[in-house]
Amino acid sequence: MSYYFAIPLLLIAALSEVAVAPMFRVAGLQPNLVLVLLTAWLIARGQNEVYWLIPVGGFLLGLVDGAPLGTAIIAMAPLALLQDVRGSQLREGGPALAIIFIVIMTVVYHVIYMMMFTLRGESANWIQAMTRVVVPTALINAVTLVPVYWFLSLFSHELRRPTYA
């Protein structure tokens, strides 16, 4: 699956995040579609592709969301660091790992956004944000990730084939 497929998919995810996802909000919250897509991509297809896709996805999201351009790139960058936690072997991590990664990344993503808001002088109640926004959003992202990961896995068999050296 090439970048020709990944980049339009990221664009659709970014546009859906501002235009479609708000229609399906649960308790006023919506999934972070670009983050979910990149996390699923990382687990299903490995780190090399994600190195390029994180800046592209962050840039596209920055073009359409309300935050200053560049914020989404910084917020999603730690995703690549998580890959080092599980090692650099290019094999499938499985849906369980993907769910763990999205939960961690949802927290990191929102913490970075809140730091940016604070730096800009906007008010942020950290405790309320964590309990009312970040934790429920992590749950929503985890639920959203399952079908996205399954879909990406269908196209990633060649990357998950075991190698016998």
Partner 1 sequence: MTARTAAWFASVVSFGFILIAISGVGLTRPVETASFKLFAPLEAVLRSVASPIADAVTNYSDVRALTEENDRLRSETERLNAEIARLREDGTQREQLERLLAVKNGLADQQFAAAKIFARDPSNLRQAVAIDKGRADGMKKGMPVLTEGNALVGTVTRVEDDHAWITLVTDVDSGVSATILESRAQGVVSGAYNRRMVMDFVSQDSAVRQGDTVITSGIGGSYPAGLVIGRVTGVRGERQDVFRSVTVEPLASLSKLETVLVMTSFVPKKVSQP
**Which residues are near partner 1 by CB under 8 A?**
11-12, 15-25, 28-30, 32-33, 47, 51, 54-55, 58-59, 61-71, 73-74, 77-78, 80-81, 83-84, 88, 110, 113-114, 116-117, 122-125, 128-129, 132-133, 137
Least distance (Å) from partner 1 to the CB of residue 51?
6
List own/partner pairs for 48-51 with CB under 8 A and 24 or more apart.
Answer: 48/90, 49/3, 49/6, 50/79, 50/80, 50/83, 51/80
Q: Positive or negative, the Cα torsion across 81, 29, 149, 100?
A: positive
Least distance (Å) from partner 1 to the CB of residue 89?
13
Residue with tokens 């991509």, as numbered in its chain = 41
Q: Considering beta carbons, is residue 95 or 111 the nearer one to partner 1?
A: 111
Least distance (Å) from partner 1 to the CB of residue 24?
6
Provide the token pair at 132.
């009312």
Q: Considering beta carbons, is residue 142 or 153 the nearer one to partner 1?
A: 142
Least distance (Å) from partner 1 to the CB of residue 91?
17
DSSP string, 122-151: ----HHHHIIIIIHHHHHHHHHHHHHHHHH
